[in-house]
Amino acid sequence: MNGIYKWGKSTFLNDRGLRLAGLLYTGPDPGTIVIVCHGFTGSKEGGGKAVAMAMAEELGMRGYSTLLFDFSGSGESEGSFADISLSGHINDVKCSVNYCHDLGFRTIIIVGRSFGGTAVLCHGGTDKRVSGVSCWSAPAEPFKLFSERLKDNPASESDLVPLPGQKGTVLVKKSFFADLKNHNVTHCASLVSPRPLLVVHGKADDVVPLSNADNIYNAAKDPKSINIILGADHQFNGHYQEVWQTFFNWLAAHFPV
């Protein structure tokens, strides 16, 4: 089956008119497609193996197409990273669903890691074209999480705020934090039902505490699943095969092809 699946570049616009860069791994007929959303400072190719192109090829061997794309301001997509917001990410997810729907896909699964996981939860709850949602290492309280990173930074009159992270310090606008307050992630998780939700988290995640996964899972309604990967960190280093298998099993159970 893998031989009939091919990689191709794609682009589509978000509602701000910014061109988003994507990679499609598809077969000859539109069937089920998985849209993969990267983390806060990631890219579509996958900085961590949990969302790498290799996973898309594994999905192709199982009969699933995949779209990987860069959020606006990241990777090869247009825009400035400083303009990042959860609202913007949610809109980018919506536009990726629009794009796949226009290609003829009617079973659309959205999966996101870290901040991308928060975005898919927030969008998936209200978009009934989305057949299933999975979040990996996703913050349930993003305002609290990101605000805690600012404790050691003195107040500044500048509109740009230095935000330290795993890959160094990035600059975001103050409006990033104000926008986070507008989103109730656990409420969005409760809206996914009756479509299935899968929550995956590393027990040793020292970036997004495990309690975030518990809060998302507890807020959600059936059908829902959770898998805590023992010993796994935020990136699932050394544990990506366990994450993949959890995700593949969930797909096979709810979306057999």
Q: What is the DSSP string of 203-215?
A: TT-SSS-THHHHH
pLDDT of res. 51 = 58
Q: What is the pTM of this model?
A: 0.95
User: Does any domain span residue 246?
Assistant: yes
pLDDT of residue 1: 44
pLDDT of residue 166: 64
Which residue, among 22, 7, 34, 75, has the nearest Cα to 251 in the 3D structure? 34
166 domain-assigned: no
Residue 151 inside a domain? The answer is no
Tell me the mean pLDDT in the region 169-179: 94
Mean of pLDDT over the chain: 93
Q: CA–CA distance from 38 to each of 22, 27, 35, 50 (Å)?
A: 12, 23, 10, 10
CATH code, domain with 241: 3.40.50.1820
The range of the structural domain enclosing residue 11 comes to 2-141+184-254
Asked if pLDDT for residue 138 goes beyond 60, the answer is yes
| Better-scored residue on pLDDT, 180 or 156 | 180
Distance separating alpha carbons of residues 157 and 212, to the nearest angstrom: 32
Q: Is residue 167 part of a domain?
A: no
Q: Is the peptide bond before 223 cis (omega within 30 degrees of 0)?
A: yes
Indicate the pLDDT class of residue 58, thresholds 50, 70 and 90.
very high
Rounded to an integer, the average pLDDT of 193-197 is 98
Is there a domain that residue 206 lies in? yes
Rounded to the nearest 5°, which phi and psi values hold at 198?
A: -120, 125
> What does each C-alpha distance from 197 to 87, 112, 249 come to in angstroms?
21, 12, 13
The mean pLDDT of 145-155, rounded to a whole number, is 74
Say if residue 119's pLDDT is above 50: yes
Residue 176 lies in a domain: no
Portion of the chain with pLDDT greater than 70, in percent: 93
Say what the pLDDT of residue 2 is. 47
Q: How confident is the model at residue 46 (pLDDT cuts 50, 70, 90)?
A: confident
pLDDT of 135 over the 90 cut: yes
φ and ψ at 106, to 5 degrees?
Answer: -115, -15
**Average pLDDT value for residue range 132-150:** 94
Average pLDDT for 113-131: 97
Whether 55 is covered by a domain: the verdict is yes
pLDDT of residue 82: 96
* CB proximity list for 207: less than 8 A, separation 6 or greater: 114, 137, 166, 233, 234
**What's the average model confidence in pLDDT over 35-40?**
95
pLDDT-derived band at 168 (thresholds 50, 70, 90) equals confident
How many independent structural domains does the chain possess?
A: 1
What type of residue sits at position 80? S
For residue 148, is it within any domain? no
